[in-house]
Chain A
Amino acid sequence: MANTIVHKADGRGHANHGWLNSYHTFSFGSYYNPEAMNFGALRVLNDDTVSGGMGFGRHPHDNMDIISIPLEGDLEHKDSMGNTAIIRKGDIQAMSAGTGIYHSEQNAHENEQVKFLQIWIYPNQKNVEPRYDQLTLNLADRHNRLQQILSPNPDDEGIWIYQNAWFHMGKFDAGKTVTYNLKDKANNGVYAFILSGEITIDGQKLNTRDGFGSSNVDALDITADSEAEFLLMEVPMVF
Chain B
Amino acid sequence: MKKLKILSVGRHPEIMQTVVRLINNNADWEGTSALTDKDAVQAFDHEVFDLIMLCSGIEPESEANLRAYFIAHRPGIKIIQHYGGGSGLLTAEIYEALK
Residues of B within 8 A of A52 (CB): none
The answer on a CB contact under 8 Å between A62 and B15 is yes
The answer on a CB contact under 8 Å between A100 and B85 is yes
A61 to B15, CA, bound (A): 8
Q: Does A127 contact B (CB under 8 A)?
A: yes
The answer on a CB contact under 8 Å between B92 and A62 is no
The answer on a CB contact under 8 Å between B83 and A64 is yes
The answer on a CB contact under 8 Å between B99 and A60 is no
Instruction: Report how many A-B pairs have Cβ atoms within 8 Å.
Output: 76
Residues of A within 8 A of B15 (CB): 60, 62, 100
| Contact residues on A (Cβ < 8 Å of other chain), bracket | 20 to 34
Q: Mark B28-64, 1 if CB is under 8 A from A, else 0.
A: 0000000000000000000000000001111100000
Interface size on B, residues (CB 8 A): 25
Secondary structure type dominating chain A contacts = loop
Cβ distance B81 to chain A, nearest Cβ, rounded Å: 8
Residues of chain B touching chain A, judged by Cβ–Cβ distance below 8 Å, are: 10-12, 14-15, 18, 55-59, 81-89, 91-92, 95-96, 99
The 4 A-B residue pairs whose C-beta atoms are closest, nearest first, are: A62-B85, A62-B56, A100-B12, A27-B92
CB pairs A–B below 8 angstroms (30 shown): A28-B88, A29-B87, A29-B91, A32-B91, A32-B92, A34-B95, A44-B88, A59-B18, A59-B87, A60-B12, A60-B15, A61-B85, A61-B86, A62-B57, A63-B82, A63-B84, A64-B83, A97-B56, A97-B84, A99-B11, A99-B56, A100-B12, A100-B14, A100-B15, A100-B57, A100-B85, A120-B84, A126-B81, A127-B57, A127-B58
